[in-house]
Chains A and B, each alone.
Chain A
Amino acid sequence: MNEKRMIEEEKHYEEVIAEESICINDNLVYEKPDTLLDTPMHYCPGCGHGVAHRLIAEAIDELDIQEDTIGVAPVGCSVFAYNYLNIDMSEAAHGRASAVATGIKRVLPEKYVFSYQGDGDLAAIGTGETLHTCNRGENILIVFINNGIYGMTGGQMAPTTLEGMKSTTTPFGRDVKIMGNPLKITELIAQLPGVYYCTRVAVNNPKNVRRAKKAILNGFQYQKREKGLSFVEIVSNCPSNWKMTPVESNKWMEENMFSFYPLGDLKVPEKEDE
């Protein structure tokens, strides 16, 4: 969006707000979470990362754990996650966010620690760290953004890229005979005894956004119980590298991603734990 248009739009909204005076406390149904900074996000329009960040910020606000939460950003499009969340954060080398989170949590066990990682980060270069962090049952939350592609580097194949799906390195569609099948890492992780909670959500519509938020809230709350790791996969989109509009990308995700990566809980705490 160019600067002139931004200024015009801002003026327009100011006028609307002034006219209708809708922003009075009684009418307030939606506001920016405290934990979300004002920094304009660098994400492409319609990208799931922004929504996911907001949900994390909301969860931190609601649990009132801003002073006690430390986040770890990956290498990927969300490398700048620390620019948007008003908490102490550490950037990690590509794939190593869960090891960095382990290091932090082990020396600050009373703090809430989470890592936020893309599919290339978590399920390709960082698979070893991911599996072992989960297997050790580190008391952390891992938020896993699966958009089936390497967003940051310009749309190469990810471990999660669907069969037949085009990317810059699978220009004719992913051929599983050559590149193997897309990796359902969340299903693998759910098997590990160290994992306390494992779920797959999405942020494509309001209902799913609410579910995703609940999952993130769960993940933070379970850290208190010291029973193991919480793993929240968010099936997401990448309109830019999928070469679709935001609306098309959500539709494509619903029609293609959800059948291979079905939404729902893969592991929930036993009844007596609840």
Chain B
Amino acid sequence: MKKELKLMKGNEAMAEAAIRAGADAYFGYPITPQSEVLEYLTNFAYQKTGMVILQAESEIAAINMIYGAAGAGKKVMTSSSSPGISLMQEGISYIACAELPCLLVNVVRGGPGLGTIQPSQGDYYQSVKGGGHGDYKMIVLAPSTVQEMVDYVKLGFDLAFKWRNPVMMLTDGALGQMMEKVELFEQLPRETVNGIEKWATIGKTKDRERNVITSLHIQPDKMEEINLHLQAKYKKIEEEEIRFEEFAMEDAEYMITAFGLVARICQKAAMLAREKGFKVGVFRPQTLFPFPYKQIDSYTKQIKGILDVEMNAGQMVEDIRLAVNGKVPVEFHGRMGGVVPSPEEILEKIEEKFVGVPA
């Protein structure tokens, strides 16, 4: 299979990307708005590559199947939407501590509670600040197009194995459901990743010590050592893996910050603003952990203010404020419950917050 152009739904494109990335297994439980992932995979994956697909009895079972299969050194993936991801949190914490590579996808819907099946970004805190118990971090990728949903599957697996860490793709119900043109990368072989015999449970051969996957270290000194090791790893990830995209930032006087789908709407708003003579640019973190604090801070000499736009009550905005540390005003505009902001209302907010405000 060569590179291909296709018109695809986000969820299906992501599923196809998993097959093409040479994933070994997917375990998942249906939930709107991402059930197409499991449906697509059950239709095509095994036939194409022999990839294991299993509908689990719950998200709790699914994440623990992931733990088992990731522990066996395989390329494994699950996807779900907000309530299901909440159920997985204990398992994610175990996976992070045991340093198992895997790709998790949250096609976020509006909450709290059963909420709505419409898109939301309400799970930023859960993904970036923990979610489960203890001091751990996932690498969090935030796509803004169906194309990025495809590309981040491959990138996600690569990062997961590079760092032996869970990677979360934080997308939303709109991206999962919308159809866009995508370029699919060519089929990669399913192959064993180098070096897994050093840690994976694949059967102890005579030439090595047994491998044990665990997150239990009851001696405080040992547990602290594990924590320090994890923190050192996260620090290196912060040094090496920050990704972001800038739009019209060269001469911008005002900066909109947004992630995921919302950033695209903000680009439209920035264009509308420029038509009116306001120099507005957009800064979009593509990795939410590691977060581009320094890169955002570097704009504080150039810009007069920031408007952060999210589909939640204001979550990433806290990190924006940490980044600029009071050097420029940071305003927030958010919609919740599955409501997607329009470019016009964002423009209105820019005018309301910044126009006429002395620099």
Contacts and interface: CB of A to CB of B under 8 A. Distances in A.
Interface of A: 66-70, 72-73, 79-80, 82, 85-93, 96, 99-104, 106-108, 111, 128-129, 132
A60 to B, nearest CB: 11
Interface stretch (B152-160, B200-208, B327-335): B200-208
B201 A70 contact: yes
A88 B216 contact: no
B91 A96 contact: yes
B64 A93 contact: yes
A107 B52 contact: yes
A73 B58 CA distance: 21
B25 interface: yes
Given A102-B65, A106-B65, A82 B72 contact: no
A90 B212 contact: yes
Given A88-B204, A89-B212, A90-B201, A106 B71 contact: no
A129 B61 contact: yes
Give the top 7 A-B pairs by smallest Cβ distance, nearest first: A103-B68, A103-B65, A100-B68, A99-B64, A96-B64, A91-B214, A103-B69
Contacts of B74: 107
A160 to B, nearest CB: 22
Contacts of A102: 54, 61, 65, 68
24 contacts: A66-B204, A73-B214, A79-B216, A87-B210, A88-B204, A88-B210, A89-B201, A89-B212, A90-B67, A96-B60, A96-B64, A99-B62, A100-B65, A100-B68, A103-B65, A103-B76, A104-B72, A104-B201, A106-B52, A107-B24, A107-B52, A108-B202, A111-B203, A128-B61
Contact of A107 (B25, B206, B213, B215): B25
Contacts of B224: none
A71 to B, nearest CB: 9
Contact of A106 (B54, B60, B94, B200): B54
A129 B200 CA distance: 23
Contacts of A103: 25, 27, 64-72, 76
Interface of B: 24-25, 27, 52, 54, 56-58, 60-62, 64-72, 74, 76, 90-91, 94, 98, 200-206, 210-216
Of residues A69, A72, A85, A88, which shows the largest number of chain B Cβ atoms within 10 Å of its Cβ?
A: A88
A72 B204 contact: no
B135 to A, nearest CB: 18
A186 to B, nearest CB: 20
Contacts of A100: 64-65, 67-68, 71
A96 B62 CA distance: 10
Contacts of A96: 60-61, 64, 67, 91
A91 B201 contact: no
Given A69-B203, A93-B91, A88 B212 contact: yes
Contact of A128 (B60, B76, B212): B60
A70 B56 contact: no
Of residues B27, B66, B201, which shows the largest number of chain A Cβ atoms within 10 Å of its Cβ?
A: B201
B203 A132 contact: no
Of residues B58, B72, B98, which shows the largest number of chain A Cβ atoms within 10 Å of its Cβ?
A: B72
A111 B73 CA distance: 14
Given A69-B203, A107-B52, A108-B72, A90 B64 contact: no
Nearest to A106: B52
A132 B57 CA distance: 7
B61 A107 contact: no
B68 A99 contact: yes
Nearest to A97: B64
Contacts of B65: 99-100, 102-103, 106
Given A103-B27, A103-B67, A90 B214 contact: yes
Contacts of B60: 96, 99, 128-129
Given A91-B216, A102-B61, 14 more contacts: A82-B210, A82-B212, A88-B210, A91-B98, A100-B67, A103-B27, A103-B71, A104-B69, A106-B25, A107-B24, A108-B72, A128-B61, A129-B61, A129-B64
A99 B72 CA distance: 13
Contacts of A129: 57, 60-61, 64
A129 B60 CA distance: 9
A90 B97 CA distance: 13
Given A67-B204, A128-B57, A88 B211 contact: yes
